[in-house]
Structure 1
Amino acid sequence: MTDAFIGIDQSYGGFSIAIWVPERHQMEFNLKAFPAQKYGQGVDRLKAVSENIVNVFNGIYEKDLEIKHICMEGYARNSKFRREEAGELASMVKMTLSVAASKPVSYPTVVAPTQLKVFVTGNHRASKEDMIAGVKAKWNVETRNDNNADSCGLAHIAEALHTGTSHAPYEADVLGNLKPHTERFPVAIAA
């Protein structure tokens, strides 16, 4: 089996899953939008996203790829708009991964948007255009879609976490501040 690393940038407007296969120098994207007009609201929309994830993962396994690590972008917790919807989507993604991927890989590493921006560009305030330019400059990945750029960066973070390698001090700083398989182990509760 060949190693693969997954990056997931989740949003209803552009849900992107990047599949990075270093041995083949191959980056593949699955990008899909889930507009409410087509998929409905609430549970129906969440089910459509979940089914898409399962289909993508089934395709990965059919190609004899072994997923070594998954990173998914966290959401801006202080966001004023639609933060509950974003939290609901992130929760559903985690639940779907718990059945679509093997353990412990099924526990993704959650990467804050600012950490992702720093890893790709060195700048925590990078724009969408900066991210697109960053993945082109850093990994020679061409995309015009910022969701794909984000998922590409996340897939490379997954690889760096798995291999323990970084190529710049700012990358090492990001890796040092991440908790691999973020929600795998329960947090000790103070008595």
Structure 2
Amino acid sequence: MRRDTRNQMIRQAAFLFRGRGYGATGIREIAQQAGAHRGVMYHHFPRGKTEVAEEVLAATDAAVGSYIESWCANQEPIPAMRAIIAGAKMMMAMGEHPPGSPVAAVALGAGPDDQGLRDTADAIYGRWQRAFRNCLHRNGTPDADAANLATLLIAGIEGALVLCRAEGNNTPLDRLAAALEITLRTH
């Protein structure tokens, strides 16, 4: 039961970060959404919201990163890219929560004293880019181009998620996939 409560808090924090941003989300709100008292939050996360954010980042990376690595290890670049974007679309469609990335929310909302959170977000984005870069490299793309294209994919997805939220649909992800396919076919 204890683990379930903690995991529920992490899930609710991720949804709130996606929807409201890291900076605009408080411990009290996370506890309320998780159906717990604020004291329970501090029992599970003695360092407060920073510790919650670390757990959200770790959970997001564990889930998303493992998929990205699997898709990139077992497919050629265009199908891998399409699978990654389809995964982003699937995450967008889950639940009543607005589109967005908890990693981006934490990276953008982390304050001056939260360098550790930005470093963690940077490491996560690096892992995701590395998986796609390795896929590209394995399929003959030179190192410099592979690194640039991997950055384009991850940055494009994060930007497309913002556009999806603004437009209220997933069309920006579809347009991103079409544009990246054209770009990948020329390499």
TM range (shorter): 0.3 to 0.5
Greater RCO (Cα-Cα under 8 Å, separation 6 or more): 1
Normalised by the size of structure 1, how large is the TM-score?
0.34
Normalised by the size of structure 2, how large is the TM-score?
0.34
Greater helix share, structure number: 2
